[in-house]
Amino acid sequence: MGKNFSDGNSVFESSIGAKIVADYATKVAGVNIKSNLSLFQSYESANLSNWTWINSFGYTIWKGIGLGFEFGLRNNRQEAANFQSVELADADNKLQSYWLFGLSYAF
């Protein structure tokens, strides 16, 4: 398999592959919308590939103060195997997700 680039005892394997990134931003009816997709496709094994998709929405209420909402999805078999302390092929690679809501300030 791939060679690890770290000096320590890394549980993650490096591999040759393609990094693909797509960004999109727009404003619709006063709502700022941003989307980012980051994908690594390994040439060696699909088990070494991963992706992250983050979407955010923001709305300015008054003098630069606004509300924001963000959610993200992530799929990474190596992280799942490390967290579960199992071999890579045995990892239960469930879709990871998060969301946040809060105040924002633009200047």
Transcribe 78-95 into DSSP letters. HHHHHHHTS-GGG---PP
> Sign of dihedral through CA atoms 77, 79, 84, 88?
positive
Mean pLDDT confidence for 45-67: 92
The average confidence (pLDDT) of the chain is 87
Burial label for 48, CB within 10 Å (0-12, 13-18, 19+), is: buried
Cα 21 from Cα 18, distance rounded (Å):
10
pLDDT tens digits for range 5-36: 555 556 677 889 999 999 999 999 989 999 99
Cα 3 from Cα 10, distance rounded (Å):
10
In the DSSP assignment, the letter for residue 50 is E
Given pLDDT bands bounded at 50, 70 and 90, which one contains residue 1?
very low
Tokens of 8: 């320590």
- Cα separation values, 93 from 12, 60, 68, 88, Å: 15, 38, 29, 10
Is the pTM higher than 0.85? The answer reads no
